[in-house]
Structure formats: structure tokens, C-alpha cells
Amino acid sequence: MSLGEIITSLLIGAIAGGIAGFIMNSRGGLIRNIIIGIIGGFVGSYVFGLIGISWEGILGTIGTSLIGACILIFLGKLLFK
């Protein structure tokens, strides 16, 4: 993985995590949003893979990460109420 790919992943994670935090009314800092967004990318890819959906391109990656991050925030709210 090149430095450019790492930076792109962090930016996508930050965008997806920030939007997911706003949508789910979750408070968190930049680092937390980046982490949630990156992990959300894996979660979203896994969930969409189970149901046979694949998104392409940068918007697909952001969408997948966003939905995965929303799932993580939802589960976190259920577990740590």
C-alpha cells in the first residue's frame, strides 16, 4: 500500500465517519471518526458482500464506508447505552 493510498483511505474514513456521526447524532473527535469510517469500510464491504451488492469508484467507497460506520455507531449505541 503506497503513501497515497493510505492518505486516501484516511480521508475517506474521515469523510465517512464525520457524515455518519452527524447522521447518527454521535459526538466524537476527528480521530474517532477516522477510525469508525475505516472500520466502517470493512463492515460495509462485508455486509454488502453478503447480499451481493458491489459499489465502484470513490463515491461507492465513501457510501460503503458511510453505511458501515452508521452500522458501527448504531451497534455502539445499543451496547453502551
Domain count, the chain: 1
13: nearest Cα among 72, 53, 80 = 72
Domain that residue 34 falls in = 3-79
Coil/strand/helix, residue 30: helix
Percent of the chain with pLDDT over 90: 16
pLDDT at residue 66 in the model: 92
Q: What is the pLDDT of residues 34-78, one digit of tens each?
A: 888 888 888 888 899 899 988 888 888 888 889 999 999 999 889
- pTM here? 0.85
Report the alpha-carbon distance of residue 13 to residue 60 in Å, rounded. Answer: 13
